[in-house]
Amino acid sequence: MIPVTKPYLPSREKLSKYIDGIYERQWLTNNGQLVQELTQRLEDYLGVENLLLVANGTLALQIAYRALGVSDTPPGEQPEAVTTPFTFIATASSLKWDGVQPVFADIDPNSWCLNPANIEAAITPNTRAIVPVHVFGNACDIEAIDTIAQKYKLKVIYDASHAFGVNYKGESLLKHGDAATLSFHATKLFHTGEGGAIIFKRKEDLERARRMINFGLAGPECIEEPGINAKMNELQAAMGLCVLDEMEQISGDRQSVTESYDHLLKGRVQKQRIQSGASLNHAYYPVALENEARVMDLMSSLRESDVLARRYFYPSLESVTSLGASSMTCFESRKLSERIVCLPIYSGLTSAEIEMISSKVLEVCQ
């Protein structure tokens, strides 16, 4: 079976050394030595400050909403956040779970990210935030989004789950917004098995979030506000430290896969238009076909060869009734979600496998 992606497993010997240290210290959680080390190393690697490690990427979003006061509204009012329908369900369900109604605005048909031109029409007196997504690691139009946020005094929380290591105009893309969140799920470009992080613009927001992930405690006998347990543990951090040591190889392998696909599929599929001034991290290889029928033909053909591609992201989230969204259709998102396929990409994918997968794509595109 060729999966759409595969967890990268780093040096077993190095991981064992970290685990030996955990056994010696007998310190498994609560901001242990490895969590502290990974925090510092990630800040250095990514070129950011105010990074907080958490247990997973969904909790990263929820803690960011809470720390920035997005869900803090008077009784009887329903806070809202404008977001994209073309994303993984966690972006919207984390809002809904936290009592914030997601309001969907349509995407740009070329970048596949939230279209700033559609945001203002979705803003109401109850809007508290904009939650854009750097889809497949492609940078949103951050300047336009920032202008709108300032005009309406809204918080901006970027779901940057796909954007690990992406730079924009010479600095980390993760510096933009009031907060940016990362997922370190096992299949991500960088991972800790499960895990996530939040990068805050302001130190005071970081400090509030740090208390929130530890039950709201400011000290052993000082409870400042309601909190939750969202801490990363030492075993997760050990995996992350090992993976971080091998990021150059991981990135190089994925770039090679991307370049091979690009060569074999050039001009035959629609690709995402990358934001000017932004780098690529090669975390995904999405293509859009002519219509949904061709997508289904391709998925069937690939399955016959034990290849698992994925329809990231389907369905368009404004159509998910459990999210309680409006009946308005986001036409561009709906159209793209019917045509999108993510092809396999990971370290260890061979040239022969890439050629076979590409040949299947070309067959349905004839």
As annotated, the active-site residues are: 188
Q: Determine the Cα–Cα distance for residues 71 and 63; give it in Å rounded to an integer.
A: 11
The Cβ of residue 111 has, within 10 Å, a number of other Cβ atoms equal to 20
User: Smallest Cα–Cα separation from 325: which of 108, 75, 152, 96?
Assistant: 96
Q: Determine the Cα–Cα distance for residues 73 and 59; give it in Å rounded to an integer.
A: 20
**216 within 8 A of 226, measured Cβ to Cβ:** yes
Question: Partners of 51 in the beta sheet?
Answer: 199
What are the start-end ranges of the H helices in 98-230? 142-152, 203-212
Burial-class residue 161 by CB neighbours within 10 Å (0-12, 13-18, 19+). buried
User: Smallest Cα–Cα separation from 14: which of 330, 348, 243?
Assistant: 243
Query: DSSP state, 108?
Result: P
Rounding to the nearest 10 degrees, give the CA dihedral for residues 182, 148, 282, 95: 40
Q: Determine the Cα–Cα distance for residues 361 and 259; give it in Å rounded to an integer.
A: 16
> Residues 58, 59, 62, 65: is their CA dihedral positive or negative?
negative
Radius of gyration of the chain (CA): 21
**183 within 8 A of 60, measured Cβ to Cβ:** yes
**92 within 8 A of 83, measured Cβ to Cβ:** yes
